[in-house]
């Protein structure tokens, strides 16, 4: 039996691997990566390495074994058919008869351009008959904190979220939840709504950046189209820009503000406050 993590060299995957290595012997962990180079450090630490690509179904043939616990970290290739990519992994897991199939999905029950692929993938997972755990992650705090150089340069946080609130958490928080599910018991056929303990607005985000940086920062609310055009003007591909801007509507409608507490219960501690993510980024 092995714990198998796809996308193990990605931003979330690296946190998951570190968490697993604290709890499980390295030779019981398999990191699925697209190239050996991406996992050289993990290999040096004794982790099993499997090279496979969501876009090449044959690379998943025989990758899983009966009794494995698998974490499918969702594809970030929004210009691809992500549901088809995920189906490759689901089919391979079903053929092997894995003991648990966990999937990093999107928070809540709403459907927008970003979450649609997650909802469709969830349906495939449930219909596969595999014992599953759906890890519905809210947004990563780092996505916003990493924008602080531009925020401070312009003295403004810009989004199309209106007065909406969001209960984000860090990648480390979400990774810890995945590790808890992969190494624990009793998670079969469960759906976890994973979000931070407290929801925040972009006006509050701007105020906290001002407090910590000592520089005046304001929140400028744009329309969805205005925000998309702004992102495009910075060089973001239009597809990604339209999806990101559309997320503002989801936030404004309150779909990402829920704080059910699943995340803090799974990880056994409070989630990381947005103020801490801001502080880390400012350092």
Q: Which residues contact 33 (CB under 8 A, 6 or more apart)?
A: 7, 8, 9, 39, 49, 50, 51, 52
Task: Tell me the per-residue pLDDT of 60-94, one tens digit each, with 9 for 90 and over.
Answer: 999 999 999 999 999 998 888 999 999 999 999 99
Q: How far apart, in whole angstroms, are the C-alpha atoms of residue 110 and residue 250?
A: 8
This prediction's pTM: 0.96
DSSP H or E stretch at residue 105: strand 100-106
Domains recognised in the chain with CATH numbers: 3-137 (3.40.50.720), 138-169+195-257+272-283 (3.90.25.10)
Q: What is the dihedral of CA 187, 193, 197, 198, to 10 degrees?
A: 180
Q: How many whole angstroms separate alpha carbon 262 and alpha carbon 197?
A: 9
Identify whether the C-beta of residue 199 lies closer than 8 Å to the C-beta of residue 259.
yes
Q: Residue 51's beta-bridge partner residues? A: 33
Mean pLDDT for each consecutive 10-residue tract of the chain (283 residues)? Answer: 94 98 98 92 96 96 96 92 97 98 96 91 98 98 95 96 97 98 98 98 98 97 94 91 90 97 98 98 95
- Residue 269's Cβ-side half-sphere holds a number of Cα atoms within 13 Å equal to 10
Q: How far apart are CA 19 and CA 226, in angstroms?
A: 40
């Amino acid at each position: 039996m092995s714990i198998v993590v796809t996308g193990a060299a990605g931003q979330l995957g690296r946190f998951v691997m570190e968490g697993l290595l604290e709890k499980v012997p390295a030779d019981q962990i398999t990191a699925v990566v697209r190239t050996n180079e991406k996992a050289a450090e993990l290999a040096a630490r004794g982790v099993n390495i499997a090279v496979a690509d969501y876009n090449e179904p044959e690379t998943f043939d025989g990758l899983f074994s009966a009794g494995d616990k698998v974490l499918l970290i969702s594809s970030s290739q929004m210009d691809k058919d992500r549901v088809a990519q995920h189906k490759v992994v689901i089919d391979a897991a079903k053929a092997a008869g894995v003991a648990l199939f966990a999937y990093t999905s999107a928070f809540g029950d709403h459907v927008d351009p970003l979450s649609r692929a997650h909802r469709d993938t969830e349906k495939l997972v449930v219909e596969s008959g595999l014992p599953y755990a759906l890890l519905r992650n809210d947004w990563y705090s780092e996505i916003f904190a990493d924008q602080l150089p531009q925020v401070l340069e312009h003295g403004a946080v810009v989004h199309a979220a209106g007065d909406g609130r969001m209960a984000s958490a860090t990648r480390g928080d979400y990774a810890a939840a995945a590790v808890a599910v992969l190494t624990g018991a009793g998670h079969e056929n469960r759906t976890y709504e994973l979000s931070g303990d407290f929801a925040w607005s972009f006006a509050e985000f701007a105020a906290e950046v001002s407090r910590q940086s000592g520089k005046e920062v304001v929140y400028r609310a744009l329309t969805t189209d205005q925000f998309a055009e702004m992102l495009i003007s910075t060089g973001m591909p239009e597809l990604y820009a339209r999806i990101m801007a559309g997320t503002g509507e989801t936030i404004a409608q309150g779909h990402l503000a829920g704080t059910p507490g699943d995340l803090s219960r799974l990880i056994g501690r409070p989630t990381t406050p947005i103020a801490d993510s801001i502080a880390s980024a400012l350092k």
